[in-house]
Structure formats: structure tokens, C-alpha cells
Amino acid sequence: MSLRIIFMGTPDFSVPTLRALSHAGHEIAAVYSQPPRPAGRRGLELTPSPVHRFAEELCIPVLNPLNFRNPDDVERFKAFDADVAVVVAYGLLLPEAVLNGTRLGCYNGHASLLPRWRGAAPIQRAIMAGDARTGMMIMKMDKGLDTGPVALSEEVEIPIDMTAGELHDLLSEVGAMLMVEAMHRLEQNDLPLSEQVDEGVLYAAKISKEEARLDFNQPAIELHNRIRGLSPFPGAWFEAEIGGKAERIKVLRSQLATGEAVPGTVLDEGLAIACSEGAIRLMRLQRAGGKALETAEFCRGTTLPVGSRVG
């Protein structure tokens, strides 16, 4: 036995779930993904999403509605006569007509321990908040923002130096296997649902450009969490004077360090930087237009003298 599934997803994070459902023998009737977006250095080429490209490799029809305000798009969705819709980082809030447009409803793979970190950026927000654990949850969707009842969950640890990119990759694979289990149990009419609790609700707002700038007047642990929460994208950054002019430098990896001085002071040749409390060592950096480099290699081409100030 297998389910007839409509899959809805857009970024790389969603691809393992689509792959796993297909390998599990389910029939993927159609894939919905965000429309192709401008890409390339000049932004002139329209590039399909990672899910779109993978679906084409599987010879699955792909649809790219801007939204579901057009009744024809809703009717087309219903016409696939699917058992269930699986949603993983699709990028659109679905209207009730779509949520109820399959026999068994819509199930979402969400990268947090709901109700903590509902919303758009749960992976980044969990790390930036210094959470020690997070996880994947499969929930049945309702008209709210990540408010539906939870079916299955799996927790994972967040080590102190793990970046958002590393956690992203881990959770995408955990979520894929969890969704396969959920669909198997749904097919067997053995998928329990538990309402989310009202306590502990937090919203994971989209990352703003302003959040990416590092302020060394903050404690080292806060900066460390910000750096790893924004790595690899968009990347936390600071400014330093290089060749007589201010230049923006991204920090993609860091470690907590010891030392004390005026916040923003370079403490040693290994690029430990003083913060308001403690210090932070910059482990992987990237100049504008350049490659990401480990500290030793970065320092061979860029001088940030001991005792100088950055920020």
C-alpha cells in the first residue's frame, strides 16, 4: 500500500523529505514549489528552486502558483485527488480550501520543538537564543501559523559550536525519516495527534539585515550564538580598517575565548576579540568578494594588529 501525496516545498531543506517519500514507495502526484527566482551575479536568470529541480529529475509535475487566491489554483490542487499533502518549508500560508483539499489533510515538517519557535527561522533563532536542544516535529496543519496538533517529534542536541548550516543539514535528514514514519502510520490509521500546549510559545521572525552586524559591547556568548546562528547565511559581520579604509568582514565560525580589554580590541594574533564580558575567537572569516578562510590563512593576507579596534 502507498499514499497518493502532493508535496509542497522549496529550499534544499525540503529535498531529503521528497526523496525519502519517493523511495518509500509513495506516489507523488504533484510537487508545489515557489516560482523560479532571479539568480546569478546579475540576477537576470530565473532559477527553479532546489525542490523544483529535484522533482523534474523524478519526472513529477511541478506547479508554481504565486499564491492560492485564484480559485483555479485551488481547484487544480483538489483535482489531483490526493490522499494527503506534505509541506516542508514551502514558503506560503495555505488557505483552508487547500488545507482541506485532500482526503487526510496537510502535514508539515517543522524544524523546532513546538510551540517554541513557530514561524520562518526556527533553526537560526534556536541557535541565536543559545538553545541546547531542538528537533523536528510533524504536525497536522490548521489555519494558524504552526499551531496545528503534533503527530511525531524527534529531539536533537545543539552543541555549543554548531552552526545553523550544520543544524539545517542534520534536521533535514531527521525530518525526512520522521515524515516517512508519519505517512506510514497515517496509512495504517495509527498516527496520534496531540494539541500544542499554550505555554512556551515563541515566534521565529525572519532574520533582518540589522541583526547581522556584530556589536562587541555585548557578552561573548551572545556574539558567539549570533555568529553560528547566522552561518553560513547571511553571515554575521563587523568592520575593520584595512589599507586605510573600513571594510566589512564576515565571521562564519567562532569560539569562546578568554581575555579582557576595551570591547572590540584585538587581543592576540589568533584574532581573539574582547567583548563586554569575555572574549571571542574568530575562526573562519570572509572579506567582501573573497573566499571564506580559516584564521591562519586569513591573517596571511589581512592584518588586524594586536591592540587595534574592530567593530
Annotated binding site for (6S)-5,6,7,8-tetrahydrofolate: 112-115
Instruction: Tell me the CA distances in angstroms from 194 to 7, 134, 147, 178, 191, one per residue in order.
Output: 23, 18, 11, 16, 10
Report whether 105 contacts 77 (CB < 8 A): no
Binding residues: 112-115
Determine the Cα angle at 77 with ends 74 and 83, to 5°.
130
Identify whether the C-beta of residue 76 lies closer than 8 Å to the C-beta of residue 82: no
Q: Which residues pair with 47 in a beta bridge?
A: 37
CB 286 within 8 A of CB 292: yes
Residue with cell 526523496: 19
Q: How far apart are CA 296 and CA 278, in angstroms?
A: 22
Of the chain, the end-to-end C-alpha distance in Å amounts to 59
Contact 106, 98 (CB under 8 A): yes
Instruction: Take residue 274 and report the three cell numbers written for it.
Output: 574582547
DSSP element (H, E) containing 241: strand 236-242
Q: Is 59 left (phi over 0), alpha (psi -120 to 50) or beta?
A: left
Helix or strand run (H / E) with residue 38:
strand 37-39
What type of residue sits at position 154?
Answer: E
